[in-house]
Structure 1
């Protein structure tokens, strides 16, 4: 039993750390002196050499997935590129809180995919965890969230980004059934870089930066570390746990706003963060309490890949 759980022993910790790094991404996008879609291109392209090196090391040489898996990963890379393009573009057209809320639609949609794939409804403890997480996210963003016609375009782009990111996570979830995380991430990153450069040029953005520092930090933090740990955790944790883990990003974003831009944190922000933490604790209770013996896919850890 312990041997079977060993490969995914650190998956939950990796999920939390990944979201800490991913939450720093919008700050680096703001600091970059290139267009928003161009910053997404550099996020991927700067990471490719390092990811390829790490993937070859992890695979003990070259890695060549089958044609079907390769096509699946390419599709995932395109979905990821579309997600980054839509979300980065939408950030400039709406409030940051709106973009964070709608862009994290995958935190609820990905668990829905997990339940559909398992052909079962959520158990009471799982439903309670989802409700607590949703309430926590609403409280975190409620103070600055605003619906208006002025923000409609940006909100729609953020929603579209959330849909694309859900599709990306589904593809990664399937690809991880046959490949290790680093080869999956390296191939998906390569597939996504080209479309992002094309989108950026079509939008007439500035592509070449004067200051490389924010882009290098964005690439290392969000793509290599953030996505690397996320792809690893997707192979061992259920979509429900991954989805709830994504909701830690708004909490971290609120702290970044407080430290970097002196955006005050309210009592509601604190309660929201506590509710999200409570949801994560609930979902990490023993698998028998959460899902029962018959649904290992929706419990804590999945089969080691």
Structure 2
């Protein structure tokens, strides 16, 4: 049995902080005046220069640590999978509720656990499985309580829900690729390349999607810049660092902190009420993450 002393507590704390940072992505996207796919593109485009300056600044350290600096398929896959996650999730918003799309996109832990079991025959401790189920139930209570009834037609809603679930598959694949690539690349190099590839993959869809591609006013750049700095650099980059030190299954479950952060942020910023069911769901979610951490 692994002792608590050997558990990478700093990486786990960084993972939670990164998940909380991403939890603000939906809030910042709502504040922007461009179409959803354009906001996703600008999140990458504005973050990429900062990440490349960082990657170039630490190039010598990467070489000294025998980290790879070349361009490989893993970097392309990370960018493509993340672009798929963001693109499919935004498309699902056209057909289903924001609550459903958000909830289903956070089912990535199930797909990661299934992949680890099927591909690598990984056996999970019972307490980890219990914690994952409790965290997912908590997420359902937290996000599902906001789902309005009759917001969309039956056929369109089913399509939207399916797309929301598909986005979870893309996000699970992204997390698994980043987990493997992080062993060979530094966080700076990995995120600089994957963010660039994601932005390039999203660009044609952002240009053709309904709505504005460019912000209407200078003030419209502020939420987009915040998306780049908070969600992409402060969120995904920190998560990429933590993924090198934590099991992929635990990382995925712990990232369920995102909907909890989004709910609290919406309560503070938009005065969206948090009812008893959501409070209970948030408590269950945190308990499930704790149990999963114990069982890893």
**TM-score w.r.t. structure 1 length?**
0.85
Which residues in structure 2 correspond to 1:76-95 (within 5 Å)? 76-95=78-97
Aligned ranges 1:59-208 → 2 under 5 Å: 59-60=59-60, 65=68, 70-145=72-147, 149=154, 150-208=156-214
1:98 CA drift (Å): 0.4
Aligned mates of 2:62, 2:13 — CA distance in 1: 29
Deviation of 1:205 (Å): 4.1
Is the CA contact 2:128–2:293 (under 8 Å) kept in the aligned structure 1? no
Please report how far the alpha carbon of residue 162 of structure 1 lies from its aligned counterpart in structure 2 after TM superposition.
1.4
In structure 2, what is the Cα distance between the partners aligned to 1:214 and 1:271? 31
Residue in 1 aligned with 2:48?
A: 48
Partner of 2:27: 27
Whole-angstrom CA distance in 2 between matches of 1:66 and 1:243: 27
Q: Secondary structure at the match of 1:47?
A: helix
Contact 2:129 2:292 (C-alpha < 8 Å) held by counterparts? no
- The aligned runs of 1:276-291 (5 Å cut-off) are 276-285=285-294, 290=295
Equivalence for 1:296: none
Shift of 1:61: 6.4
> How far has the Cα of 1:66 moved from its partner?
6.9
**Larger relative CO (CA 8 A, sep 6+): 1 or 2?**
2
SS in 2 for 1:207: coil
User: Paired residue for 1:242, among 247, 251, 260?
Assistant: 251
Give structure 2 stretches of 5+ with no counterpart.
none
Question: What is the CA distance between 1:264 and its match in structure 2?
Answer: 1.2
Q: Deviations over 1:109-157 (max 9, x none)?
A: 2233334454133221112111211221121123223586152333232
Q: CA deviation at 1:281?
A: 1.9
Aligned pair in 2 of structure 1 residues 115, 237: CA closer, same or farther (>3 Å)? Answer: farther
Residues 152-191 of structure 1, C-alpha deviation per residue, up to 9 Å, x if partnerless? Answer: 3332322222111111111111111211222111110111
Shift in alpha-carbon separation, 1:66–1:47, aligned structure 2, 3 A: closer
Alignment of 1:257-276 (within 5 A): 257-276=266-285
Query: Mind listing any 5+ residue stretches in structure 1 that lack a counterpart?
Result: 291-298, 300-305
- Per the TM alignment, residue 235 of structure 1 is displaced from its structure 2 partner at its CA by 0.9
> What CA deviation, in whole Å up to 9, does each residue of 1:259-293 have, x standing for no partner?
222221111111111111112222333xxxx3xxx
Question: What SS does the aligned partner of 2:272 have?
Answer: coil
CA RMSD in angstroms comes to: 2.4
8 Å contact kept, 2:92–2:160: yes
Query: How big is the shift at 1:62?
Result: 7.6
Is the contact between residue 111 and residue 243 of structure 1 (CA under 8 Å) also seen in structure 2?
A: no
Name the CA distance, whole Å, in 2 between partners of 1:199 and 1:184: 24
Secondary structure, counterpart of 2:274 in structure 1: coil
Give 3-state SS (helix, strand or coil) of 1:10's partner. helix
Structure-1 separation of matches of 2:23 and 2:139:
14
